[in-house]
Structures are given as structure tokens and as C-alpha cells.
């Protein structure tokens, strides 16, 4: 049947557009028929470091009470961000292990030293003092970047949880205060009633 035009089925165009939308997107620079670029050994090491960091945060840092865990996460995030935001500044790449705040809030927190090591910090003695020193190499900065992402995610989750717990605590305290005031009022009313009876 030459010359006959095929009628377009209704919805055929929409179906083909939907099928195209389901096709996987290609990485930048890749073309159809080429495999995505193979991860380098460094890529694999960075991915492994990320897994270790997240595991330590999840199984060690956040297992303690929420408030101290949040403090440890915030401090870790600050130390990591200092290095990432100032990669050529040596003063941000190390801190004293004896620093009171860092020692109390992070180094003595369960999982704190492990988190620092997984993020690329290591200990070093300089002039009879112990320091924690960041790896500011290209690889080290990539690991610190992964650490920052994980810390930001967990910090947001934990901050939300701490805020909810604090709101619930305030609510309970307000309820207890109301109950106490009501009980005191009943005691006073009872005293007044007894006093009135004794006058009769």
C-alpha cells in the first residue's frame, strides 16, 4: 500500500519521550558506546576513606549522648574546614593534642581520635609537644572534603534530634511546673479550709 501514510498512534510520542528519559545519563566527556572512566586507585582509596569516616561517626561518635556527640561533630567539622578553606596556611594544618577544648570535646570523646585519623590527620611530636597534623596533599584534601560532607550531614541530623529532645524536655518541665503549681494551690486551699473549720 504505497502512498498510504501511517497514522501516528496517540501517545506514541509521549511513550518514546518517557523511554528516552529512562536512559542512563553519561558522564561528562563520555559518548554512547564508551564505558564510564575507570576509577583510579586514588579514587578507590578516597571512597574507602569516606566509608571509614561515616562508619566511625555512625557507630562511635553518635552513640554517646546527643549533646556531646554534636559538640564533637561541630569541632571536627571546624578543624576539617579550616584546612580545606586555607590549604596553604600551616597554622590551620595542625593543633596541639594538649589543647583543652579539643582534648575534652573530641580527643576524649569515643571515636574522636579514630575520626581524625580517618580524615587524614596523624600525630607528630615537635619540640617535646604532640600535635595532630593534617595531610594537605591533593589526596589528603580529597579525603578531608569527603569528611566535611559526612560531618555536615550528621551534624544536621544530630542538631535536629537535639532540638527535638530539648523541646520535649522543656515541655515536660513546663508540665511539671503546672502540676506543681496546681498541687501547691490545692494544699493552700486545703489549709484554708481546715483553718475555717477550726474557727467554727
Say if 77 falls within a structural domain.
yes
- Domain, as residue range, for 48: 41-165
pLDDT digits (tens, 9 = 90+) for 96-141: 999 999 999 999 999 999 999 999 999 999 999 999 999 999 999 9
Q: For 39-93, how does the pLDDT look when each residue is reduced to its tens digit (9 = 90+)?
A: 999 999 999 999 999 999 999 999 888 899 999 999 999 999 999 999 999 999 9
Helix ranges (DSSP H) in the chain = 12-22, 41-59, 66-85, 100-102, 112-118, 138-199
Q: Is the residue at 155 inside a domain?
A: yes
Report the run of H or E that residue 37 belongs to, with start and end. none
The CATH number of whichever domain residue 161 belongs to comes to 1.20.58.2190
**Per-residue model confidence as pLDDT tens digits over 10-40:** 544 544 555 555 555 555 555 666 777 899 9
Q: Model confidence at 189, in pLDDT bands (50, 70, 90)?
A: confident
How many domains are there within the chain?
1
**Residue 94 three-state SS:** strand
Closest CA to 134 of 148, 150, 149, 152: 148
Cell numbers linked to 37: 572512566
Amino acid at each position: 500500500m504505497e502512498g498510504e501514510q501511517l497514522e501516528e498512534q496517540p501517545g506514541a510520542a509521549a511513550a518514546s519521550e518517557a523511554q528516552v528519559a529512562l536512559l542512563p545519563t553519561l558522564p561528562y566527556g563520555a559518548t554512547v558506546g564508551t564505558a564510564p572512566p575507570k576509577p583510579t586507585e586514588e579514587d578507590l582509596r578516597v571512597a574507602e576513606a569516606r566509608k571509614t569516616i561515616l562508619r566511625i561517626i555512625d557507630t562511635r561518635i553518635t552513640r554517646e549522648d546527643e549533646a556531646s556527640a554534636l559538640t564533637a561533630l561541630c569541632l571536627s567539622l571546624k578543624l576539617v574546614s579550616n584546612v580545606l578553606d586555607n590549604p596553604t596556611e600551616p597554622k590551620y594544618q595542625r593543633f596541639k593534642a594538649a589543647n583543652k577544648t579539643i582534648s575534652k570535646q573530641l580527643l576524649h570523646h569515643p571515636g574522636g581520635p579514630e575520626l581524625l585519623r580517618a580524615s587524614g590527620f596523624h600525630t607528630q611530636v615537635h619540640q617535646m609537644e604532640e600535635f595532630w597534623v593534617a595531610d594537605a596533599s591533593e589526596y589528603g584534601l580529597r579525603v578531608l572534603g569527603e569528611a566535611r560532607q559526612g560531618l555536615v550531614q550528621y551534624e544536621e541530623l544530630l542538631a535536629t534530634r537535639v532540638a527535638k529532645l530539648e523541646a520535649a524536655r522543656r515541655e515536660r518541665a513546663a508540665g511539671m511546673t503546672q502540676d506543681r503549681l496546681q498541687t501547691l494551690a490545692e494544699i493552700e486551699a486545703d489549709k484554708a479550709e481546715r483553718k475555717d473549720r477550726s474557727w467554727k
